[in-house]
Amino acid sequence: MRKSILWVLIVISGCNRGPSGSTAPAVAIQMHYPVVAGEVELVVGDGHETIAPPGSATAGSKWIEHDVTYTNLLNHPIWVSGYSESSLFSRIETRSNDAAEWRDYGLGYCGTGARDLEIAPRASYSFTASLPEKYIGEEFRVFVLYRTVHTGDDWFQAASQGRLLANSPAGD
């Protein structure tokens, strides 16, 4: 089962190969996991403009980046998936207004090199969440998948509060 779920992650993310013996976690991104409040806190900071670098798939396009800080509020470790504590797998949803339904923006990562990361009790780390400028004026929220048992199959999500994506000067 884990190998087939990992294959789904690889297909979704566009990777077609990785190192043999990879420790990438088996997380089926398209599946829905319960959002649990009070275990992991996500706080979205102020945004700033950035231009996608040359050679990237979106080279030259304008993006709005936000620092997102997550904190393990539990008295025991949790496990997240990613490349490092500050480069983990996250998900973003957007909506055009308060009456609209949330839409999944999608996953922007390749699974090659990913691993389980243990986050100590009360530890905090930050990562960057980015959206293209076409979403300026829309609301967004960020999600992080986590487990409370390292070898368990039960995944949960932490969600940030919704926030308006606003235009800001580059480098702010």
Fold observed for domain 2-164:
Immunoglobulin-like (2.60.40)
Least confident of 22-36, 76-90, 104-118: 22-36
Chain centroid to Cα 98, Å, comes to 22
State the Cα torsion 120-123-124-125 to the nearest 10°.
Answer: -40
Amino acid at 160: S
Pairing verdict, β 78-84 and 139-146? unpaired
> pLDDT, tens digit, for every residue of 53-98?
999 889 999 999 999 999 999 999 999 999 999 999 999 999 999 8
Q: Which two tokens stand for residue 36?
A: 């649990």
Rounded CA-CA distance 108/126 in Å is: 17
Rounded CA-CA distance 165/27 in Å is: 28
pLDDT at 23: 44
> pLDDT, tens digit, for every residue of 123-167?
999 999 999 999 999 999 999 999 999 988 899 999 999 999 987
Residue 29 reports pLDDT greater than 80: no
Give the pTM. 0.78
